[in-house]
Every structure is written in structure tokens, then in C-alpha cells.
Structure 1
Amino acid sequence: MEENQNFGTEGLNSMELMDQLKIKTESLYKEFQSLSSGVSIMDEKLKRTEYFVEQNLKELKEKVGNVKVGISPEDLRQLETYKDYFNHYKPLLYVSLFVILSGWGLGIFSALSGVKWYKESVRTKQEIRTDVLQEIKTQGNMIIDTQTFLNYREQSEALKAWQKSNPKESESFTNYFKQYQKLNKEKK
């Protein structure tokens, strides 16, 4: 360790060493003074800031403390008139709400009843249609197309007209037709 302490001082005499020490001490002293003045400046700025913040807080407390919330007598009178106004029209409001709700209820009931009636109506029509067709069938009748019926009628009238105009020739057809009907009755 002694070598390290002697390393910087080797070759210097004591006077030179004293001079260097004075220079270094003065420079350290100046540095200390500049740091001290910087700290004192910072302390002064901190105190001013603290004072400024305290003043602003004090002003804010005074302003907020002076604020009063209240309702003026005129506003109170206006509120009272609204209260009376509402009490006057309260029954009308309730009646209106009752009518609206009744209307909705009646509408829903009507819609559901209509749907039920329609379903029942369709079912009834189908049952009646089935009954009518069954009755026609039991009576030995049938439903045919109008055009087919008209064609059959026209053919029948033409055949009757031919029988009147050709009675001798139509005898063979009449005999054939009677035998044809007899065969059909036997098949059934």
C-alpha cells in the first residue's frame, strides 16, 4: 500500500507537494462553495414552491368553502306547481296506461283467438268435405270434370238422334247395349 501512496509523490520535493496540495484544496473549496450555493438556491426554490402551493390550496379551500348549494324560493314554487300539475293529471295518466295495456291484451287475445279459429275452421272444412264425398259415394254418384260431362251428354244426344233417324239400324245397337249392361251387372 505504501507503494501506491508514494507512486504519485515520487520525484517531487516537499515544496512542490505543498503547492499541489494548496491548489487541490482551493479547487475543492471552490467546488464546495459552488455546491453549497447550488443547494441553497435549490432550498430557496423549494421554499418558494412550497409557499406557492400552500397559497393556492388556501385560496381553493376558501372558494370551495364559500360555495353554497341551495334552491331558490322561486324554484321551490315552480316545483310545487309541477307537483300540483302532476297530481291533477295523475288519474288521466293511470287511465291512459290502463287503456294502452288493455289494448295490447285485447290485441294479443284477438290474434291468438283468430289463429285458433282459423285452424278449427280449416279442420272443420276438411271434415265436411270428407263427409260430403263419402255421402256422394254411398249414393252411387261420383264427381267428374265438367268438360267430361258435357262430352258424355253430347255423345248421348248424338246417339239418340241417330237412333231416331235410323230405327232399323239402331236395333242392333240397342240389343248390343242391353247385353253389355247385363254382363256388367253380373261382373259386379
Structure 2
Amino acid sequence: MTKIELNPLKGIHIAEVGTIEFGMTANEVKEVLGQPEQEDDFQLFYYSEELRLDFNSQKCLEFIEIISGPYPKAIKPILYAVNPFELLANELVDLLIQKNGSDIDYSEAPECYAFRNISVGIFREVSEETIRQSIKEAKENGTYEDEKIWLLDDLEKSKHFWTIGIGLKDYYK
């Protein structure tokens, strides 16, 4: 697995590949990573590295997202010396609160948080609480046995965040 170190407010370092920094142009990124599997005017997708990179109106890199959580297949992301996808959701939130301080966007919690001081965002489609409620309702409705495999898989996945992104300073302001 390729180690990708996320450095908030700076960029990423990909082991044995190189460093991508905020402010780089798409061509500069391509010099390091090669041709993306998909691109448009403002995004590059490197599915083999499980990355999405966004560019601003000046065509400079402003956001990098690991898109493969909580179970990346080809990469090992590292943020503050830990793999953020190995942490339980509440553990990752606590770590980011510790690193960020008080300026946090909770408006889409518990599925999504934006830590404004460090420009880090985390996302999961559904929270553990929501899946637990779905399990309770399925049991009450008599559909649990039919949906059990899907519900238990979703429950396990919901215990972690699914994507993590870092942006340049003030990205989330």
C-alpha cells in the first residue's frame, strides 16, 4: 500500500512519488503524479491513488480528498501520525478538535464536519446512530432478517468516516 501523508494547509506527500502542494497548477501536479484517470477544468481524479484534487478559478490546487474510506485498497493515508480511517468516528473528531481548536462547522454533523483552522473536512454518508435506528425499525417491521447482512455491513462502515479532505488556508470559511 502506498503511504500518503496529509499535511493540512500544505498538501500531501506520496511515498516514492513526491509532494503535491496547494497552489500548484494541474500541469505541475501531473508532472509529479502523471496523467489522471479522469479530469475536467477544475478536478483531477487519480483513482489508483484514491485521490481527487480540486483547482480554483485561478487553476491552482485548493483541495485534496482521499475518496476511498473507510477501506482504502491501494493507499495508507496518514494524518497527524495516524491512519484516519482506522480511527472510530468519534476518535477522529476528537483528534481534529484537538488540532483545530474551536472554529468548527457542525452544521452537517454527525455525517460531516469542517475544521476551519486546519482546513480539514471529514464525511460519511450515514452515521452509526442512523443505522442503529434503521436496525431497530427493521426488527419492529419484521424485515431485519432479510436486510441483516446489508444493515450490519452499513453499521460497521458507519463507525468511521468515508472521506477526508484538506484544503488551503480558509478553504472552509
* TM tier, smaller: under 0.3
Q: Which has the higher strand share?
A: 2
Q: TM-score when scaled to structure 1? A: 0.16
Bigger radius of gyration, 1 or 2? 1
Q: Which has the higher helix share?
A: 1
Q: TM-score when scaled to structure 2? A: 0.17
